[in-house]
Amino acid sequence: MYKAGDFKPTRYLIYILAFAMIVVLAACGGNHNEKKESASSSSGKKAMITFWNTFTGSDAETLKTIVEDYNKKNEGKFEVKMDIMPADQFNQKLPPSIATGTAPTLIATNPTTAAAYIQNGSIVPVDDFYSVDGVNKDDFEPSAMKMGESNGKLYLLPMQVFGIQFYWNKDLFKAAGLDPDSPPADFDQLADYAVKLTDESKNQYGFAMPIKGAPQYYSMFIWGNGGDMVDVANKKSVLDSPENIETFKWLADLAAVKKVTPKGLNGVETDKLFLSGKAAMYITGPWLAAGLKQNNINFGVSLPPKGSAAQATIADGVGFAVPKGASEEQKLAAYDFVKYWNSTEVGKKWSLAIGFPPYLKSVAADSEIQANETIKQMSNLGEAGRTFLPGIVGADRINGDVLFPLMEQIVSGLDPVQGVKKASNSIDEILKSEP
Amino acid sequence: MMRSIRHWLNGWNRPEKAAYLFIAPALAVLLLFTVVPLIATLVISTLDMDVFLQVKGFIGLDHFERLFQDDRLIESAKHTLYFAGIEVPLQIILALLTAVYVSRNTRYRKFLRSVYFVPSICSFTAIGIVASFLLDPQTGVYPSYLENLGLPRLEFFRDPSWAMPSVIALTAWRSFGYSMIILVAGIQSIPESYYEAAQLDGAGKAKQFFAITIPMLMPSLSFCVITTTIAAMQVFDQIFVTTQGGPLNKTETIVGYIYNTGFKMAPYDLGYASAISVLLFVAIMAITLLMNRYFLRREADLA
Amino acid sequence: MAERWTWGRMVGWLAAAALLIAVLHPFIWLFIAAFKPENEFMTFPPTVFASRYSFDSFVKVWDTIPLMAFFRNTMIFSVGVMVVSVFLDSMAGYAFARLRFKGNKALFTLILITMMVPFQVLMIPLFVEVFKLGMLDTFWGLIVPRAASAFGIYLMRSFFLSLPKDLEESGRVDGFNEFQIYWRIMLPLCKSAMITLGIFHLMNNWNDLLYPLMLTSSTEMRTLSAGLAMFVGQRNIEYGPTLAASLLALLPLLIVYVFAQRFFVQGVTTSGLKG
């Protein structure tokens, strides 16, 4: 029954196995060699700067060319090794890496997310950056430097600084008989315009309201009407104040009764809606402008409309941080790259390519930047810029687990009064674990 | 060297001893890289600990007390059961029907067999991306097909009551081929003579299916049911790419909630996330062992 | 041809054909869409076909990620796991199915149990463990923890259970030792089962995102699925490149599958077994 010929399949398997093992071994061996090489060189002449960030998508291209330029200029001295990953993975990988001492030398993160890292000492103070040779402290806008401040120490060095903006589609304004050059001045006018600009038969919406994965745009309505989400000093929710309840009722009326927005869109989907000319007004960050130009949308950009009490927007940004465990030598190497990033030439390149407003005075004074209307418009937040829940460790969670879900409920037509009360309790629950 | 190994092996050349040698390497890997981390998780579930591995104290069973008052956990448990309760039977029945249909070796049926398996080789990431495009209420082609057929334009992933059915359909679409391939293998190893004998006895197709196919298929079928159930109880990937637990949290599952609590953002409550995992683990274990016991008895009855 | 057309047969044929379309349609759409220009994804009402086709999206993918390096890493990782794991799984599965020994049930239950833990839960302890073993960011660190799988052992056990009972006896009569019985009698019979399991392992690891991402800490070690994830970022999402990258991540598996499906569709039983 079992003749010699029957054993052939096994022999094939052995061959495949042997071949695959050789491939694997060769590859692993090769990798070890690479490892050794990099270890010896880092102790020798060249300093490695490992840099993790979340600049996926089209921003990554510009970032990569800047890093490549830097590596070319500093050949044999410094080398930036960049690892770009989506934010979810970044947030999952970074904490255990810091705990095991395998963290990168440099990360880019926003102040809200950084709060937790600052609180438990996972990123180190970087005040001494500004005394590094060749860094011109006076060139930085004070607000950009302040972005990285916590308890009197600096933890983030500016990478980009921006405010959340109000966008409107001028062609749709014209078609609805509105003045294409004047955005709504206050909340009431916004509501009025939004209704006029909505035409469900054409799948066109007046004011797009995302329910997750977007900037915390709801806070500008809350702030605009004189309210706030959290009493930051006392770590207590103030969400269920009478003025906030009015604000949320107004938002509910706009979204669920007047139906000026599609339901249940996340940030990316809302971007897409506005990019395709199907939304007339939208509040989001400066990153949208580049895409709008590419898609030939005739758009305007300004600060959001005024509320009954004030005009407010969110001042946000991304900063460089150095995780715990980096040696002094590595930290200085990281500073060198940050210094390069904050040179006039690179600042200008980034600003023009991505459409982000400059925070270096020398870049802002540049004639090409001056000539760019959109960037100029976005540069000036005046008194309106405010930080979202500064210093609160659970800020991301309050935003993602409570306030955006509240917006979602409101947009889908649930009772705002009940919702706000429940949300306020949930915020207090999260704030309990605040240090 | 081969000789000395062989000599040494001879001492073990009795089935009841050799078995341990066969199992040892695999067992070592599983012990080291699954059981050890699992024990670590059990320990972490009694600690107040975050993802930075900073332990703020031992808190005993406090996390487990918290479990039962956590409305969001209870909701996500319901969603998980909803998913598993519909997806598993759907996938298995679809797989069984197609397996029976394609198990005969004609050219067309071989072709069907290979094509039905194609979705299973794709990652949920890729499939989720494609599904999000196809089902998008504004720009997706499927809602507009529905409209052209005179049916209501469904919002699929964005409608609170349709989101979970959409995820279930997507999962069954992707995975039925997986189960089907295993069942086809099982069906083909049933000796042809059994059917011939049944035919002589005058049994119809349906009778043959229930009297021969199903019982003879038990090892493969139980394998499919159990592994699919385990996977369904741990459902996460496809939801993460398509609905992220929304709308209105209607598709948030237990693993999704574990991810949200422990890994997504500060405060990274690894201790509590581990406690939820322990609960999920115990639940899956209970369900699986019950199923396994049932199937083992069926196998024993038939042997 | 000689088959008679009955209503039941008709329904079966129609259902199978409908399922075929349902399975293939999204892939056909993906193949077309990956060549669509970027601005045609937002048209309303939506269209399947585009006004023109180009390789722009693929060029973009090529420029954005080190595709070849990611491909090589994915290859080494998933093929490495596949080969080792199929071997170890089949050995263990064989023992559980066909050898009587003390603790069979208990050990098998233990192995089943390892399948019941979601990966997210084990992730952090596993990360720390691999770090302590000094295998972080190496191919060994990626392959060894996956070198055996409960799923594979279970699958192989189910398969070995379905083989006829007296196979070993003929081996023992021929004077084979236990390993020879496994290697020379059992393995040749389960070539197809092993290929099936091999494909399962290959695609699971090929497609896995979180595991290789956690256990590597440099771009040089990343896999294709991590590369794909880079297009699904939060802002500035580009649809064409996202779909092109999905297609590129899928294609190698599809090619392997086209070649391996011969064994797949052959079915598990070999002619030697029947009759």
- Poorest-pLDDT segment among A54-58, A151-155, C250-254: A54-58
Q: What is the pLDDT of residue A16?
A: 57
> Residue C273: is its pLDDT beyond 50?
no
> Full-prediction pTM beyond 0.90?
no
- Poorest-pLDDT segment among A107-116, A265-274, C17-26, C79-88: A265-274
- Read off the DSSP letter of residue A163: E
> Is B138 within 8 Å of A95 when comparing Cβ atoms?
no
d(CA B156, CA B154): 5
> Is C118 within 8 Å of B277 when comparing Cβ atoms?
yes
Q: Which of C80, C214, C230 has the CB atom closest to A86's CB atom?
A: C230
Highest mean pLDDT among A18-27, B69-78, C257-266: B69-78
d(CA A253, CA A141): 40
Highest mean pLDDT among A396-400, C4-8, C169-173: A396-400
pLDDT bin (cut points 50, 70, 90) of residue A422 is very high
pLDDT bin (cut points 50, 70, 90) of residue A12 is low
Provide mean pLDDT across the span B99-109: 87
Read out DSSP for A319-339? EEE-BTT--HHHHHHHHHHHH
Does domain C62-271 match CATH 1.10.3720.10?
yes
d(CA A347, CA A364): 9
Alpha helices in chain B (DSSP H): 2-11, 15-30, 36-44, 62-67, 71-102, 107-117, 124-135, 141-148, 163-188, 192-200, 205-208, 214-216, 218-233, 237-242, 254-259, 270-302
> Which chain A residues touch C226 with a CB distance below 8 Å?
85, 89
| Residue C116 in tokens | 């019941």
Read out DSSP for chain C? ------HHHHHHHHHHHHHHHHHHHHHHHHHHHTTS-GGGGG-SS--SS-S---SHHHHHHHHHS-HHHHHHHHHHHHHHHHHHHHHHHHHHHHHHHH---TTHHHHHHHHHHHTTS-HHHHHHHHHHHHHHTT-TTSHHHHHGGGSS-HHHHHHHHHHHHTS-TTHHHHHHHTT--HHHIIIIIIHHHTHHHHHHHHHHHHHHHHH--HHHHHT--SGGG--HHHHHHTTS-SSS--HHHHHHHHHHHHHHHHHHHHHHHHHHHH-S--TTT--
Distance from CA of C88 to the nearest CA of B (A): 6
Residue A236, phi then psi, degrees to nearest 5: -135, 145
User: Could you tell me which residue, A79 or B1, shows the higher pLDDT?
Assistant: A79
Q: Most C CBs within 10 Å: which of A2, A80, A316, A399, as the mutation test of the C interface?
A: A2
Distance from CA of C236 to the nearest CA of B (A): 16
Q: Which of B37, B124, B138 has the CB atom closest to C129's CB atom?
A: B37
Residue with tokens 């009759």: C275
Q: What single letter denotes the amino acid at residue A371?
A: A
- Poorest-pLDDT segment among A7-11, B74-78, C125-129: A7-11
Three-state secondary structure call for residue A302: strand
Provide mean pLDDT across the span A52-60: 81
Chains within contact range of chain B (3+ C-beta pairs < 8 Å): A, C
Q: Which residues contact C258 (CB under 8 A, 6 or more apart)?
A: none
Q: What is the pLDDT of residue A189?
A: 96
Q: Most A CBs within 10 Å: which of B48, B125, B241, B265, as the mutation test of the A interface?
A: B265
Rg of chain C taking only CA atoms, in angstroms: 23
Q: What is the pLDDT of residue A17?
A: 55
> Is A115 within 8 Å of B266 when comparing Cβ atoms?
yes
d(CA B136, CA B142): 8
Q: What is the pLDDT of residue C236?
A: 60
User: Could you tell me which residue, A168 or B214, shows the higher pLDDT?
Assistant: A168
Q: What is the pLDDT of residue C210?
A: 85
- Nearest residue to A381 (alpha-carbon basis) of A208, A186, A143: A143
Read out DSSP for A183-209? --SBHHHHHHHHHHH-BGGGTBEEEE-
| Residue C68 in tokens | 């070849």
- Poorest-pLDDT segment among A20-29, A91-100, A331-340, B263-272: A20-29
* C47 CB within 8 Å of a chain A CB: no
pLDDT bin (cut points 50, 70, 90) of residue C217 is confident
Respond yes or no on whether ipTM tops 0.90.
no
* B197 CB within 8 Å of a chain C CB: no
pLDDT bin (cut points 50, 70, 90) of residue C187 is confident
> Is C127 within 8 Å of A100 when comparing Cβ atoms?
yes
d(CA C249, CA C65): 12
For residue B267, whether the previous peptide bond is cis, meaning omega lies within 30 degrees of 0, is yes
* B82 CB within 8 Å of a chain C CB: no
Domain ranges of chain C: 62-271
- Poorest-pLDDT segment among A71-85, A124-138, A155-169, C28-42: C28-42
Measured between alpha carbons, how far is residue B289 from residues A332, B281, C159 in Å?
57, 12, 20
What pLDDT digit, counting tens, does each position of C48-58 carry? Answer: 788 888 888 89
pLDDT bin (cut points 50, 70, 90) of residue A65 is very high
Q: What is the pLDDT of residue B96?
A: 95
Q: List, in order of start, the domains of chain A with CATH numbers.
A: 11-162+316-381 (3.40.190.10), 165-303+394-431 (3.40.190.10)
Provide mean pLDDT across the span A25-38: 45
Pairing of strands A205-208, A279-284: parallel
Distance from CA of B34 to the nearest CA of C (A): 6
pLDDT bin (cut points 50, 70, 90) of residue A69 is very high
d(CA B131, CA B129): 5
Which H or E run contains A51?
A: strand A47-53
* C133 CB within 8 Å of a chain A CB: no
pLDDT bin (cut points 50, 70, 90) of residue A5 is very low
> Is C125 within 8 Å of B129 when comparing Cβ atoms?
no
Q: Which residues contact B302 (CB under 8 A, 6 or more apart)?
A: B215, B216, B218
> Residue C200: is its pLDDT beyond 90?
no
> Which chain B residues touch C150 with a CB distance below 8 Å?
30, 34
Q: What is the pLDDT of residue C109?
A: 87
> Residue B99: is its pLDDT beyond 80?
yes
> Residue A38: is its pLDDT beyond 50?
no
> Is B158 within 8 Å of A394 when comparing Cβ atoms?
no
> Residue C71: is its pLDDT beyond 50?
yes
Q: Most A CBs within 10 Å: which of B52, B71, B250, as the mutation test of the A interface?
A: B52
Three-state secondary structure call for residue B32: helix
Read out DSSP for B122-169? S-HHHHHHHHHHHH-TTT-HHHHHHHHTT-----GGGSTTTHHHHHHH
Q: What single letter denotes the amino acid at residue A55?
A: F
Residue A208, phi then psi, degrees to nearest 5: -85, 125
d(CA C30, CA C36): 10
Rg of chain B taking only CA atoms, in angstroms: 24
Provide mean pLDDT across the span C209-234: 82
Q: What is the pLDDT of residue A353?
A: 86
> Which chain A residues touch C221 with a CB distance below 8 Å?
31
CB A131 within 8 A of CB A350: no
Mean pLDDT across chain A, nearest whole number?
Answer: 87
Task: Measure CA A240 to chain center.
Answer: 28
Q: What single letter denotes the amino acid at residue A164?
A: I
> Residue A22: is its pLDDT beyond 70?
no
**Could you tell me what percent of chain B has a pLDDT over 90?**
47
User: Could you tell me which residue, A56 or B226, shows the higher pLDDT?
Assistant: B226
Residue A85, phi then psi, degrees to nearest 5: -145, 155
